[in-house]
A and B are shown apart, each in its own frame.
Chain A
């Protein structure tokens, strides 16, 4: 233990500058108006999801046969659906399924993809070749079609949809992490850490990972946008959130049968998906510019 101590100090010495880099990135991000707009809208949706029981004017699954397919009015701002449920309340509650799906599926991709990518990039040789070929195989299956197949075999519900989306998006993170590791691995400071006798796992965790975090974070933000669309798509096809629980995708699935006499049923949930996905995309693009000054 004693032998490690002096090196632990050098680790500490690198921390303030690392924090400084993140602070500088945040300052650059704050200057980008579109990214900040994205961040604000994302925060608003998070609040809506957390405060849904207080924000929604009606019970999202309570039907009312006296209020079927009513146009937007003072009582029902977004109108009512085919069995008299309040569309606004369902959109507010639906935020939970979408955000949950976005965050959970990307967490699954990160938890699987980053360690596998680290292993491939760090180990090289046969391990790398094997992991890369398996990644290629996953990438050859179109993302949504793979997710549909996985969700079909696992059984249709929100949890399985999140697993299916997370697994389908994993290869992107494997490939990204592997590529970054291969770039970083040859840097002098990694060589130095190795020369000092650090075990490989420690090098990967303390020295490689912090240096590849920025592109992974950018990709994760953009992947949340893609995952939210994917969850809405699976729910639209009937493979995600099951009725009567509210989800934007399944609301659109019902709405498509009533386009001619209740268009508001389709407009609001779609607009919600669009706004949330757009915001994550704006935030992701902004993060990329802020974290990687070379790209500008």
Chain B
């Protein structure tokens, strides 16, 4: 679609208009983010009073008080820790477990593995929402409600991620594995020493996607946690905005601190992020 039809004359004007368009759209995407960023540093009264004018983007009476408030009033520290304690094991265990299944299906066929592959493809259709209520009943029977593991274990194995690993492992050239096999290496060694390092992009893809999902998850914590002890950030935020006295300055500080880690990871690993989202669409 690009420059092929542009002649040299007028190309500069054309380029300027392209940048103008791109920037205008960028403003639309950035306004709410900038609003949060500036609001986090303003006293509550200013956030509300200046919310309907350009002053919403000017840090009047800038202060760091909101951040302290978010820690005290919303127990941000605890909620943040909860989210980390939930997200890191889910992602790490998920990478291990899902890649092992993907590898077994791609390279170590066993009796029934074909059927299992088909079942896994079928399972990708079932969203969490379709099983949330019976799962709630099940974990209640186990006595698991209000814990970390109830927010970790159900999300470790994921049929979509298994399928992604499966297709990516199929694409890894087999020669190296065969060579290692001749040298007498067992499947575990081959997997850990040769295949997994070769499949780093696959791990980055799945790791980013699952972290993004687990960090933002709201429905399941609503069902299985009560009280702030095991509550993760998104639920903590939805509770905090209804907890009087409502202070929008504090809420914006909470919001900023909550998205900051993800933003930082995104800015550093931008290419990976975009690639992993792109590859989530390769199913069709």
Chain B binds chain A = no
Residues on A facing B (Cβ under 8 Å): none
